[in-house]
């Protein structure tokens, strides 16, 4: 399995606090069957002022420590990129890193506010050859009032990534509901851990894959954690990658059976 969203680099953002924690996270990941991890620290101007050069240097140092410790986990470049008006220019100037220097990049919306121009910005960078991979929309507090935004983005070229732990209830019932609905509506391209540590948010991807199987089947669940992530690392064109099967029309029935329909809007 391939994890394209992990805050494993030590002392660089709110992820691994030190080398010991980073190594422990790597051991958990490999024990779960993860072979490649994208190191994706936040780039948040004024809070986490990470740079491409700094992230690359941190990856090289941690990769060497993994080798010394005998942990067989390959690290690749990435970042959790916030919304900025000059995002397209930053991507073109390589001021922010894409995933493994491909056309794909992690695009993190704010958790509590629907930002004006969010969809327009995603469309803009997509028309210039980049593929925004929108991270954990199921965990946003504003998704209920703006679910159609993510449907539209997915139809117009953006990719959707949901957190594996959302499907197992690690982030609460609301995140699980929206994660399952997005799977059922055929909007999810990949699963990732978005791990920040060992205990509270561990790098476990397998449990999410198993949970996804109940909604999309074995083959599509594998695409979520293996085929599509590998295609991203290979910088393949989205047109050459297995498409999401059409799953529209089943959400309400399944969710109602789980007893959640009475307190959550179906969006």
Q: What CA–CA distances, in Å, run from 55 to 41, 52, 75?
A: 8, 5, 11
pLDDT value at 231 more than 60: yes
Per residue in 101-136, pLDDT (tens digit) is 999 999 999 999 998 889 999 999 999 999 999 999
Q: Where are the extended beta strands (E) located within 65-220? A: 74-77, 80-81, 104-107, 131-135, 159-163, 190-192
As given in the structure block, the two tokens for residue 254 are: 């399944």
What does the DSSP 8-state code read for residue 244? P
Confidence band, pLDDT 50/70/90 cuts, at residue 243:
confident
* pLDDT band with cut points at 50, 70 and 90 for residue 246: low
Q: CA-CA distance, 24 to 198, in Å (whole number)? A: 7
pLDDT band at 247 (very low <50, low <70, confident <90, very high): very low
* The model scores a pTM over 0.75: yes
Q: Average pLDDT, stretch 247-255?
A: 39
Range in 15-29, 184-198, 200-214, 249-263 with the lowest mean pLDDT: 249-263
Mean pLDDT score of the chain, rounded to an integer? 91
The beta-strand segments (E) located in 36-194 are 36-39, 42-43, 74-77, 80-81, 104-107, 131-135, 159-163, 190-192
- Assign 3-state DSSP to the chain and report helix, strand, coil percentages, each to 5: 45, 15, 40
Mean pLDDT, residues 31-41 taken together: 98
Summarize pLDDT for 41-76 with one digit per residue, the tens: 999 878 899 999 999 999 999 999 999 999 999 999
Q: Looking at the predicted structure, is the pLDDT value of residue 218 above 60?
A: yes
Reduce the DSSP state of residue 23 to 3 states and report it.
helix
Contact between residue 206 and residue 189 where contact means Cβ atoms under 8 Å apart: no
For residue 185, what pLDDT is reported?
A: 93
- Sorted by sequence, the CB contacts under 8 Å of residue 81 that are 6+ apart come out as 43, 87, 96, 105, 106, 107, 108
CATH C-level class of 2-257: alpha beta
Return the percentage of the chain with pLDDT > 90, whole number: 83
How many CA atoms, within 13 angstroms, populate the side-chain half-sphere of residue 16? 23
Tokens of 131: 């593929």
Whole-angstrom distance, CA of residue 22 vs CA of residue 17:
8
């Amino acid at each position: 399995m391939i994890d394209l969203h992990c805050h494993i680099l030590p002392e660089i953002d709110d992820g691994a606090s030190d080398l010991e924690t980073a190594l422990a996270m790597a051991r958990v990941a490999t024990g779960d069957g993860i072979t490649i991890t994208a190191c994706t620290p936040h780039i948040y101007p004024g809070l986490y002022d990470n740079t491409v050069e700094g992230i690359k240097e941190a990856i090289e140092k941690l990769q060497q420590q993994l080798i010394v410790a005998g942990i067989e986990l390959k690290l690749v470049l990435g970042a959790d990129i916030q919304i900025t008006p000059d995002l397209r220019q930053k991507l073109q100037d390589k001021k922010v890193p894409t995933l493994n220097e491909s056309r794909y990049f992690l695009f993190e919306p704010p958790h509590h506010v629907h930002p004006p121009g969010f969809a327009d910005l995603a469309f803009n960078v997509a028309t210039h050859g980049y593929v925004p991979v929108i991270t954990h929309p199921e965990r946003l507090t504003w998704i209920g009032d703006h679910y159609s935004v993510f449907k539209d983005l997915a139809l117009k070229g953006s990719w959707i990534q949901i957190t594996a732990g959302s499907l197992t209830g690690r982030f609460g019932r609301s995140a699980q509901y929206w994660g399952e609905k997005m799977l059922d509506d055929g909007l999810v391209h990949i699963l990732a851990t978005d791990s920040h540590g060992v205990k509270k948010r561990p790098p476990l991807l397998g449990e999410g894959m198993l949970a996804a199987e109940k909604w999309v089947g074995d083959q599509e669940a594998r695409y979520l954690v293996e085929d599509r992530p590998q295609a991203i690392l290979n910088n393949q064109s989205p047109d050459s990658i297995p498409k999401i099967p059409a799953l529209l029309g089943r959400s309400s029935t399944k969710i109602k059976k789980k007893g959640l329909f009475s307190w959550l809007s179906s969006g």
